[in-house]
Each structure stands twice: as structure tokens, then as C-alpha cells.
């Protein structure tokens, strides 16, 4: 068993306890994952997915960016990247960033808070993600706890996460149901003017929020 992996698991457990969440079952309900998923994450036997890790951290009120950086370090140390069930995609406009391998060195270059159009209530954030190695960019959405609650108890929540390139007016969007993890869209190749990420959030099919990041020129 990797010492880095065990320390990661132990610190996840400590994060839960520091947040006053006394049991794995309670955390599972708050993070919208199964009890066995929480048990596995805290056992240190294998690295949980990034989505699961961030769902746990968010439920415990932890620092998402800090934990994402830490997850990537452990992931790299283990050097055990799981094969995708889908064929590897070329790095090209419209490819999935994960299936094209662009996520390995990805950084967040811009962030914009997303609020409801009818009230001053923050429901999430849209990020412009960038892979310097592959010269690719895409949008990513992270919801707040309040949006998690609304999705669980009040509304059917879905969203579109997109990326746009100013130079040729290319605009891509990926629509999906909302869950308590990260959601991302397809990539556009950089190096040809400014790009920005954008998102649309809908409750029961009706648009309730739209947000763009700053427009940024990326190599």
C-alpha cells in the first residue's frame, strides 16, 4: 500500500471528523455518493476518483482547489491511470478533455461565480480549464451545496457547460443532468485568439442562470 495513498485517505477521514460529520453514512448522504464509496475512500486501499474526492471535500466544507492539487500529486505518484472504457480521442476541437488526455496537466486560468438570475444567490462556479501541453481549453462547472440541495429536493437541475473561441465564433456546449461533482464540456484548441468558458443552468427545463468567464488569450 502506498504511504501517500494511506495519508491521503487518513486526511480525508480527518476532514470529515473536523467538519463534525460523525459517520460515513451521514457523509454519503451529504456528498450524494454511496456508503461503500466513502468507506473505500477512507480505507486507503485505492485512490477515489477526483469527482468523488471533490464531492467529499465539498460536503465537508474543505478547499476544493487544494484537494484537487493534492489528488493529482497522489495520482501521478501511483502512476496507475485507469483505461477509459471509450477509445482514446485525438486532441481536436470537440474532443472530451479526459478521453484526449488533456486533464493530466490542466490548470484553471479563470473562474466566474454563477448566481440565479432572479436573486442574489450563488449556485456554483464556471471555470476555464487549460492544458498547456496540448494547447486545449474547456469549461468546467462546480455546484455549491445549495444547488446540491435544490437538485435533491426541489428541482430537476441540468446544465450546459461550454467553451467559445472569439476568432472564428466557434461555440461548443455539452448538456447534462447535474450531480454533486464536477461537470465539463468539450475542448477547443488554443493559440488563435481569446477563449472563454460559459454555462447555462436550468431548473425543470427553464433557464435560471447564465455566466461566462473572462475572455483569455492562451498559447
What the block records as the C-alpha cell of 199 is 454555462
Q: pLDDT for 88-104, tens place per residue? A: 789 999 999 988 888 87
CA distance 36 to 32: 12
Instruction: Determine the pLDDT at residue 85.
Output: 63
Instruction: Determine the pLDDT at residue 145.
Output: 86
For helices 3-18 and 50-59, give the axis angle rounded to 10 degrees: 30
Start-to-end CA span in the chain (Å) = 40
Task: List beta partners, residue 207.
Answer: 202
Mean pLDDT, 10 residues at a time, the chain of 219 residues: 82 95 93 90 89 94 92 75 66 93 87 93 95 94 91 94 96 92 92 96 97 96
Contact indicator for 93, 185 with CB cutoff of 8 Å: no
Instruction: Enumerate residues 6+ apart whose C-beta is below 8 A from 33.
Output: 52, 55, 56, 180
Backbone angles phi, psi at 210, to 5 degrees: -140, 140
Instruction: Determine the pLDDT at residue 80.
Output: 47
Q: Class for domain 107-217, per CATH?
A: mainly beta
Which of 126, 140, 125 shows the shortest CA–CA distance to 187? 140
Instruction: Determine the pLDDT at residue 101.
Output: 85
Query: So where are the chain's domains?
Result: 3-78, 107-217
CA distance 175 to 16: 32
> What are the DSSP calls for 56-72, one per residue?
HHHHTT--HHHHHHHHH
Which of 15, 25, 182 shows the shortest CA–CA distance to 108? 182
Q: Class for domain 3-78, per CATH?
A: mainly alpha
For residue 152, the SS3 value is helix
Instruction: Determine the pLDDT at residue 2.
Output: 66
CA distance 11 to 155: 34
Instruction: Determine the pLDDT at residue 103.
Output: 84
**Whole-prediction pTM value?**
0.66
Amino acid at each position: 500500500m502506498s504511504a501517500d495513498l494511506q495519508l491521503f485517505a487518513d486526511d480525508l477521514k480527518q476532514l470529515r471528523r473536523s467538519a463534525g460529520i460523525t459517520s460515513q453514512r451521514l457523509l454519503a448522504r451529504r456528498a450524494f455518493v454511496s456508503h461503500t464509496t466513502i468507506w473505500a475512500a477512507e480505507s486507503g486501499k485505492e485512490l477515489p476518483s477526483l469527482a468523488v474526492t471533490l464531492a467529499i471535500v465539498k460536503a465537508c466544507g474543505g478547499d476544493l482547489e487544494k484537494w484537487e492539487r493534492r489528488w493529482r500529486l497522489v495520482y501521478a505518484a501511483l502512476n496507475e491511470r485507469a483505461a477509459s472504457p471509450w477509445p482514446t480521442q485525438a486532441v481536436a476541437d470537440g474532443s472530451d478533455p479526459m478521453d484526449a488526455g488533456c486533464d493530466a496537466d490542466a490548470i484553471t486560468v479563470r473562474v466566474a461565480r454563477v448566481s440565479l438570475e432572479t436573486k442574489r444567490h450563488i449556485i456554483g462556479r464556471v471555470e476555464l480549464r487549460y492544458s498547456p501541453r496540448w494547447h486545449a481549453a474547456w469549461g468546467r462547472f462546480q455546484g455549491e451545496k445549495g444547488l446540491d440541495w435544490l437538485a435533491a429536493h426541489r428541482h430537476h437541475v441540468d446544465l450546459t457547460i461550454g467553451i467559445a473561441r472569439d476568432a472564428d465564433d466557434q461555440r461548443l456546449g455539452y448538456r447534462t443532468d447535474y450531480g454533486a461533482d464536477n461537470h465539463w464540456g468539450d475542448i477547443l484548441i488554443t493559440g488563435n485568439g481569446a477563449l472563454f468558458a460559459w454555462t447555462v443552468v436550468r431548473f425543470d427545463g427553464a433557464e435560471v442562470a447564465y455566466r461566462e468567464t473572462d475572455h483569455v488569450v492562451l498559447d
